[in-house]
Amino acid sequence: MKQVIQNFKSGELYVDEVPAPSLSKGMVLVENEYSLISAGTERSTVKVAKANLLGKAKQRPELVAQVIQNIKKEGLGATFAKVKTKLDSLKAMGYSSSGRVISSLDTNDKFKVGDRVACAGLDYATHSELVSVPQNLVAKVPEGVGADEAAFTTLGAIALQGVRQASPTLGEKVCVIGLGLLGQLTVQLLKANGCSVLGIDMSEKLIELALESGGDRAMHRNDKNLIAACQNFTNGHGFDSIIITAATSNNDPIVLSTEIARKKGKIVVVGAVKMDIPREPYFYKNELELKISCSYGPGRYDVEYEELGKDYPYAYVRWTEQRNMEAFLELIAQKRINVKPLITHVFDIQEAEQAYDIVLGKIKEPHIGILLKYNEGEEKFASLTGESKSPLNSINTGFIGAGSFAQSYLIPNVKAWGAGVDGVVTSKGITAKNVKDKFGFNFCSTKADDVLTNTSINTVFIASPHAAHADQVVQSLQKGKSVFVEKPLAINEDQLREVIAAKEESNLPVMVGFNRRFAPVCETIKEEFHNTGEPMVVNIRVNAGFIPKDHWTQIPEIGGGRIIGEVCHFVDLIQYFTDSEPVKVYAEALKTSNQALTANDNISITLRMKNGSVGTIVYLANGDKSMPKENIEVFSAEKIGVVHDFRSGAIHKNNSIKKLKSKGKGHKEEVERFLNHLKEGKDSPISFRSICLTTLTTFKILDSLATGLPQEVEMI
């Protein structure tokens, strides 16, 4: 299918063929008819991408701070690789479209094939022939509303949420500052609500358009009589509310709002403006109220609402993102909102570059609503781009999932070893296309079956979301392919049983990405304690850092939580150092009433090993980033081995210290060891039993937390 793409590194914007998006539970697959270019938002996005590295840094200082912090935590080399991966990415453009449903897996059985719908969402309702959109970001289009009109729905919902924040009542006087697309829609919504509306902008054409759209009055910001006119318009009281839909790097809209608001009036910020608020002379004395409007409405940035399809109760949250979308569409159907005059340009998808030339000012034409149109009847449903080639060597790989981790630590090391990289699968076609071109894969796809059924591929690397790992491992084994899967292997016992059964049936190698045991500093310490014949005490402290509850790793249905997804690393490391299996585990988590914290992210774990060794894991999310992330101590036979965040280490023996240098966390070594084992016809470098016991132990940690009791660890 065709899609508008921007290269974030170079800023180049173009239309290219990418695989059609995949459809999964809770999603709706839509064939676009129109999509709307949001000139203000997309102009800013394109300009950031077109800037050089210094320019990008100046415009996104918060990301620079993250890079600096990451250097402290992981070192310059690892951070550089991550930044390079981000810069070398392709970005999907657009977030408001309309079309027809061609397939749906929504959990409410709400959408049927052929339904006319409007779609919303960054990275979902993109400028592409096909879009796969979460069910709560899709709204049915009423009769009488054209597909071109419905393409405005996302912007309409944003404007509507801004109006809701102002809570205007019939007859109130409201000012709209900024008469671009959002401002024009806001003017019409306020008029539909029975308000008297005055608009302010820097463009005479937009001022005229606001008057044509029903505004009672509209004026230029630099009109010398603006303040006097506002006083007269409000009979000397000031505006009940001011809605700022402008986008500017200065705080003039805020300052102006304080001057023209009535006592106890409201200022609602919808657009991206500088929030430098002067206390005097008006804000304090008039007890003004400042409110921020969050995009389309309640549900925005809530993973459970947007991605998992969990709606808010109608009685308690009357207006959500989806219900705002539906309300806007109804207003168009009732002829109370008219978006037709806002359409200044319509381009075919193949002419998208010309449309963006207008947005960026390369072509000087007045514009406000620019639509991209998609043709019917063209072939656009292919999930695969490119084709498999005969393997050039004995190991030919396919990747299912290729996010930043896979691009930084897995794919480069697979290629460096000399294995073939045949196919790559991701849920979004644009990502698959980017990874294919960047790393030289023969084909890319959005369907896992295109890798699983490919007879040229004999080894599958799985780096998809955690909940999908077990099923994809099972399918790979059933198709006769060796497997490397990023941790965890499974997120519950049922999944683990299925993997064990598939492994027993196929007898093919299964490797899990427990990289830390392959770090050179760990291998040196392991060798030091080899054949002591004495049990060990292994202490591991992990300053893991805070992750909010709505992060995908914290959501049981997707990530399984941090104990299953991250603590597994350290259970494996204790097995590695002790050369023994866990037989009992006990865990205690932080007890807190702070609802922002995930109590289980702050936990103390004690492992009893079969040979009498003891392991402790203290995993923390409530610490400070200035302390190194991981510290490991191994005690046995009057010796101590220490690992300092995998940057350095030491062996203490005979009243002396032998310092160790570290070369990383073992990502390169684990891939090399796995591929070498395959080449030599061996099983995984970590025994499958050990992998299963590590996975099972994480489940038992959760059981211990739930019961308050130690749990026996027995192979299932």
The pLDDT tens digits of the residues spanning 155-165 come to 999 999 999 99
In this structure, of 74-88, 294-308, 541-555, 569-583, the range with the lowest mean pLDDT score is 74-88
d(CA 653, CA 185): 74
Q: Please give the pLDDT value at position 49.
A: 56
Fold agreement between 2-152+301-373 and 384-512:
no
Burial of 112 (0-12, 13-18, 19+ CB in 10 A): exposed
| Residue 129 predicted with pLDDT over 70 | yes
pLDDT tens, residue by residue, 533-572: 899 999 999 999 999 888 888 888 889 999 999 999 999 9
d(CA 34, CA 375): 9
Domain ranges of the chain: 2-152+301-373, 158-292, 384-512, 516-712
pLDDT tens, residue by residue, 632-662: 999 999 999 999 999 899 999 999 999 998 8
* Cβ–Cβ under 8 Å, residues 92 and 15: no
Q: What is the mean pLDDT of residues 450-473?
A: 96
Question: Does 384-512 carry CATH code 3.40.50.10490?
Answer: no
Q: Please give the pLDDT value at position 47.
A: 62
Radius of gyration of the chain (CA): 29
Measured in degrees and rounded to the nearest 5, phi and psi for residue 445 equal: -160, 170
* Per-chain mean pLDDT for the chain: 92
Longest dimension (CA), the chain: 92
| Residue 88 predicted with pLDDT over 90 | no
CATH classification of 2-152+301-373, choosing from 2.40.50.100, 1.10.1790.20, 3.40.50.980, 3.90.180.10? 3.90.180.10
Q: Please give the pLDDT value at position 224.
A: 96
Tell me the pLDDT band of 56, cut-offs 50, 70 and 90: very low
Tell me the pLDDT band of 327, cut-offs 50, 70 and 90: very high
Distances, alpha carbon 566 to alpha carbons 7, 217, 625, 710, in Å: 32, 59, 17, 21
Burial of 197 (0-12, 13-18, 19+ CB in 10 A): buried
* Cβ–Cβ under 8 Å, residues 151 and 371: yes
pLDDT tens, residue by residue, 249-287: 999 999 999 999 999 999 999 999 999 999 999 999 999
CATH class of 158-292: alpha beta
Tell me the pLDDT band of 469, cut-offs 50, 70 and 90: very high
The pTM score is: 0.87
Question: Does 516-712 carry CATH code 3.40.50.150?
Answer: no
Tell me the pLDDT band of 62, cut-offs 50, 70 and 90: low
d(CA 581, CA 149): 64
Long-range contacts of 488-492 (CB under 8 A, 24+ apart): 488/512, 488/560, 488/564, 488/565, 488/568, 488/695, 488/698, 489/691, 489/692, 489/695, 490/695, 491/466, 491/467, 491/556, 491/560, 491/564, 491/565, 492/560, 492/699
Q: Please give the pLDDT value at position 61.
A: 63
Q: Which two tokens stand for residue 127?
A: 């400028």
